[in-house]
Structure 1
Amino acid sequence: MSPQPGEANEAEGVLNPASGRTPDGRLHLLPRLVAKGNVSRIGLAEVMLTDGVPTGVERRGVVLAPDEGWERGANNAGVEDPRTTWIPSLGVHVMTYVAYGPLGPRLALAVSENLSTWRRLGPVHFTYQPGLDTDLNLFPNKDAVFFPEPVPDPNGRLSYAMLHRPMWDLSWIREGEGVRLPAQITDDRPGIWISYVPVGLVEWDITALVYQRDHRLVAMSEFPYEDLKIGAGPAPIRVDEGWLLLHHGVRGEMVTGTDHQPHVHYAAGAMLLDQADPGHVLARTAEPILSPETADERDGIVPNVVFPTAIEEVDGLHYVFYGMADSKIGVARLDRLV
């Protein structure tokens, strides 16, 4: 998928899609559409298949725009980088997205039964946790995604779990505030965390999904291709050995004061999470499994980026949909899950 000429909502790119199937079984993407001024909306586009292979899309309009006050700031606005998870036990697609509002990038949730009509559940709230020595609600957060079924929390309770990535630099929202690390965290690079909501609370009221608790660090940067930071990609997939999680790793140099980083390199890796304790990493790739190689991945709004955000099965094969240089959307076939 590439920006459509003359379409104002796509003037600065189409990228980082979520995905899902409508009740009739048709495969769709939910791309981030970026208008002039870096204002993002979330669209809907049906995936066209040629001999069972995704080869293009047909646009179905916009399904979420920055219409709420907490999605709009004085100098910024957007609903960005959606991830969707179909959760059969709830009968809905759960969307996590970044609301770029008055306090910078914050997480928010919405749910849908058909991918076309979404109901906002609101901003995510992280409950106070003794011993963590911080309030996660103070910090910008991105790259959130839910598991597709209940998993055990640290106390063994079946819960709906969400991966996310807090960022400790409060300069996003208050110039000069700097980095404020929790007491037990010594590395200020953004990493992957997990939080939970007990199943019973969500079954009683689905809006309980926004009240996350039992926060734990899952993984930090470990290998050279992840030197700056890591973040979760599509919803984890159940495999025999546990949960397969695709993630992105970033290396290079960050430039302060800009949204578009020209000197970074985004690649995709994979982790295997423990089925009995999804906050525990069993194995991970020391080298990337997908790196920027094509012209569309190397040249764009942010050069040298592959950013996986969706994975779908088509005729027994798994296809990964990903952002290309913050400008277009590509697809790659994942031949082996483990």
Structure 2
Amino acid sequence: MKNYSLKRLFDQPIIQTRDVKPSVDGFDVLGAFNPAACRVGDEFILLLRVAEAPRPEAGWLHIPVVETVDGLPTLTVKTFREPDGPYDPRVVTLNGKTYLTSLSHLRLARSKDGVHFTIDEKPFLFPARPDEAFGIEDARITFLDGKYWITYTAVSEHGPAVGLATTTDFKDVTRLGVILPPPNKDVCLFPERINGKYVLMHRPMVHEIGKPSVWLAESVDGIHWGNNRFLFGPTAAEWEIQKLGAGPEPILTDEGWLVLYHGASSTSAYSLALVLLNRNNPDHILDRSANPLLTPELTWEREGFFPNVVFSNGWVRWFDQDQNRERIWVYYGAADDGVGLAELTRND
């Protein structure tokens, strides 16, 4: 993929954690990052992942969880003594059970120019099912069959699964439940049917044998998925040797399906790269990046809640009337603490 470049449009984030208000009284926003993206009419739409947690208290851990109370999803806070020794500030095991220390949801942001966003004060999609008890994370948006399909990671004590919701106007949303069980994430749908079937990419989270890699699956109704098969996985290159996963929905070019993906190094530094798939047979890889197109280099990409990360699950292809040309803008999360903007260009 030497004929593509991914260059930052700004050397500062366009959205920072402090730009987002908490949705729950007594909570703090720990991060606003990893947005899904699309264009609706003349608006740019982002679905931010917003991670919140109860305000800290010395000596105590307050863990947010959505539980079913009297048949209704209810946000509860579990309180534990803080562990004596060092512990992961994101994931903690207490009394034999593992919890996330924050709860994520999806927050809508709108913009006319794609740079300056107005962020809703309330969630667009908040955890509301047992399989979302620990949060909703890292959405992707695909426009298909006249509506916007939103895939996201639904996290619970049973692991990360893949949820699906749809909307036509980003006002009302229909939840369709879990379409892939744990452990799985990083799901994006192709924006058109291929050989009459819906197709998606997903990332089973293998552990004992193999490394987390990109797989394909297909469906006749968009709900029930099968014919799963391996597509591509990590190489021996250090920047993607640990694991990788697909980013936003593929873009159809005159060469084939262009896919943005992330790779993680042995030190868990995340970078962005491309792969090109055959239009009619996406099992066939035509080209793939030998080196990353974007790596964490700036201070706000290297320092944050989870350092050394550039991660994208949202891009927008649009026609710039002022410059009379088509553009592809890539929105990326940086260090789980903000959103950057880069542009993908074809060098030739």
1:21·1:115 contact (CA, 8 Å) conserved in 2?
Answer: no
Unaligned runs of 5+ in 2: 1-14, 54-100, 321-325
Deviation at 1:26, TM superposition (A): 1.2
Q: Is the 8 A contact 2:42 2:112 kept in 1?
A: no
Residue of structure 1 aligned with 2:213, choices 191, 207, 215: 191
How big is the shift at 1:252?
2.1
Aligned amino acid, residue 147 of structure 1? F
- Matched to 1:31, the amino acid is L
Q: Which residue of 2 aligns with 1:85?
A: 142
Q: How far 1:165 moved relative to its partner?
A: 0.1
CA contact (8 A) 1:71 1:102 kept: no
State the alpha-carbon separation in 2 of the partners of residues 71 and 210 from structure 1.
18
- 1:100 pairs with one of 134, 155, 161: 155
**What aligned pairs does 1:172-183 form with structure 2 within 5 A after superposition?**
179=208, 181=209
Q: Which has the higher contact order (CA 8 A, sep 6+)?
A: 2
Match of 1:300 in 2: 304
**More helix as a share of residues:** 1
Q: Matches of 1:48 and 1:41 in 2, distance apart?
A: 24
In 1: Cα distance, 2:167 partner to 2:175 partner: 9
* Structure 1 counterpart of 2:89: none
Match runs of 1:265-276 below 5 Å: 265-276=269-280
**Equivalent residue, structure 2, for 1:166:** 204
Q: Deviations over 1:37-79 (max 9, x none)?
A: 3200101001242xxxx3221012311001112211xxxx101
Q: Which of the residues 122, 125, 128 maps onto 1:67? A: 128
Q: TM-score, normalised by structure 2?
A: 0.76
TM-score norm. by structure 1 comes to 0.78
Q: What SS is found at the alignment partner of 2:192?
A: coil
CA distance in 2, matches of 1:218, 1:280: 8
**Aligned equivalents of 2:316 and 2:20: distance in 1?**
30
Deviations 1:220-276 (A, max 9, x none): 1113211000100011000111100000000024xxxxxxxxxx2100000001112
May I ask how many residue pairs the two structures share in their alignment?
A: 275
Q: Which residue of 2 aligns with 1:172?
A: none
1:25 is displaced (CA, Å) by 3.1
Amino acid corresponding to residue 328 of structure 2 in structure 1: H
Counterpart of 1:79 in 2: which secondary structure? strand
Does 1:142 pair with 2:185?
yes
Which is worse superposed, 3-12 or 109-118? 3-12
**Unpaired segments ≥5 residues, structure 1:** 126-136, 153-157, 170-178, 182-187, 203-208, 254-263
Shift in Å at residue 210 of structure 1? 2.2
Larger Rg, first or second structure (1 or 2)? 2
Change (3 A) 1:104 1:295: same
1:3 is displaced (CA, Å) by 1.4
1:40 aligns to 2:104 (yes or no)? yes
Aligned pairs for 1:103-252 within 5 A:
103-125=158-180, 137=181, 139-152=182-195, 158-169=196-207, 179=208, 181=209, 188-198=210-220, 202=221, 209-222=222-235, 223-252=237-266
Greater share of residues in strand? 2
Cα drift, residue 20 of structure 1: 2.0
